[in-house]
Chain A
Amino acid sequence: MTSDVVSVTNGVAGYDGRPVLRDVSLTVTAGEVVAILGANGSGKSTLVRAVLGLVPLSAGSVTLFGRPARRFRQWHRVGYVPQRLGAGSGVPATVAEVVAAGRLARRGILRPPGRADREAVAEALRAVGLADRAKDPVATLSGGQQQRTLIARALAGRPELLVLDEPTAGVDAVSQEAFAGALRDFTAGGGTVLLVAHELGPLRPLISRAVVVHQGVIAHDGAVPDPAGHHAAPDHDHVHPHGPEEPAGLWSAR
């Protein structure tokens, strides 16, 4: 067996016939913390969604824990943190109820939750600093706290691999720090992380490798590139448009 946790070989994917990923290969080994960077529309989110099987590959292959993704069934080993909580439908749900959904991959759908499940939920909430909000409706939380709820949900399943899609986009500083802390604990326990980010912020010291996706291909795979231009300013606002006209530097590093 190999220690490859995630492996994408010559992956091609797109939406409605428009190619987004063009011949991408990527390997993440156990214990690594890999950041996928890139401008909006570069294909970085599509890459992780393809890894998780949410976007089908039109060519190439994905393996998870050494097993072809198509035949992979041990989903309790994977924790997924989406970009944001879906738009609320009005039916309230408490923070603990949302986080408890993270136990389903481990427990199966028929077994009722037991003590181990409740303990895992409480521990995950403590890890992200939301233990005191467990009984509050998620809709009353700030965006950053909702994001922390989602990482708690992923952690509650005690996964070996965390896949995060822009976890800190639009998240306040307190939540970003809480996020970085939870991630640090996770990697200290031997966990593997694959995360998509627009900018790294407080997560930067945790990253062991950076992969830059540019126009559907991998433009850089190695050390975390230094922020260039005004990106380097510690508190710059991300209000400028992204796209092909992105200034040379970070995204075009090769």
Chain B
Amino acid sequence: MSLFQYDFMLRALLGALIIGLAAPALGIYLVQRRLALIGDGIGHVALTGVGAGLLFQTSPVLMAVVAATIGAVAIELIRERGRTSGDLALALLFYGGIAGGVVLVGLSDSTSANLNAYLFGALTTTHPEDLITIAVLGAAVLVTMLLLRPALFAVCHDEEYARVSGLPVRALNLLLAITTAITVTIAMRAVGVLLISALMVVPVATAQQVTRGFRSTMAAAMALGLFAAGAGIWMAAVADTAPGASVVVLAIASFVVVTLLAAGWRRIRRSRPQPTPVPEPHEVVLGGS
């Protein structure tokens, strides 16, 4: 595409690809944990950080990382302790975060376009230094998720068993919370606060309809994330659509297509006479997405 000869489009594409790869690698643990929407909550909190950054004229992204991390750790500690007040605490964080962000952005001299950039993403305004931040943080998230896969899988799959295995369950949970905060903050550039969870969760939901194991689900989800990010930016360039929303629309479209194909395939297999007993197809339960 000729549009990709512009540096800003190339930067947008690169940024989107990194996030498209890192977000599902983290999201799979959140889906496994039934915390598919946690990214949204943390994103709302990150917005307060953005507001603070704009107001005090420090880096909004840095402040967002700080706010999101505090929020994520708070959510994790609440989850670990009480079970009953967990959703109420989440609600407080969600709304407190977004309201605080809007108030702080309003107090600063920035325009509403500035707020929109964080609410809906602004990939095409990615500066070279933003791209470096995205690349470094994205690589850190990716390496952590891949390197600690067995341990994180064990903790998310059966926390009590992980405890009896002597794993540092609490440290791993906090690590997951912090990497979620980091992913949310860098994804905020790409798809915006309101669509963050989509990139973490939708590729996982799509992948798990056709995969049989955790590792293959993770690989397929990362491939799907990469595809949605790349194709979304291309679509934005060609059809002049909003880049962040295009990425999410394509991710959802892949989900619908794969769901229909998988259902069709199961139907064909069931109607065919089977000489030997074949294990039943895996039941698909969407992780709260």
Contacts and interface: CB of A to CB of B under 8 A. Distances in A.
Pair from one complex: yes
Contacts of A23: none
Interface string A82-125: 10011011111110111011111100011011000000000000
A104 B150 contact: yes
Contacts, number: 112
Contacts of B266: none
A69 to B, nearest CB: 11
Given A104-B167, A109-B167, A89 B161 contact: no
Interface string A126-157: 00000000011101100000000000010001
Interface stretch (B103-111, B114-122, B246-254, B277-285): B277-285
A96 B216 CA distance: 13
A211 to B, nearest CB: 21
A116 B8 CA distance: 50
B158 A82 contact: yes
Interface string A51-76: 01110000000000000000001111
B32 A73 contact: no
Contact of A89 (B148, B150, B279, B287): B287
Contacts of A157: 165
A82 B212 contact: no
A91 B214 contact: yes
Given A54-B164, A78-B164, A92-B213, A113 B158 contact: no
A237 B107 CA distance: 70
A80 B204 contact: no
Interface of A: 52-54, 73-76, 78, 80, 82, 85-86, 88-94, 96-98, 100-105, 109-110, 112-113, 135-137, 139-140, 153, 157, 163
Interface of B: 28, 31-34, 147-148, 150-151, 153-154, 157-158, 160-168, 172, 204-205, 208, 211-215, 217, 279-287
Given A90-B31, A97-B213, A97-B214, 12 more contacts: A75-B165, A85-B158, A91-B208, A91-B214, A92-B217, A100-B150, A101-B150, A101-B153, A101-B157, A104-B167, A110-B147, A136-B212
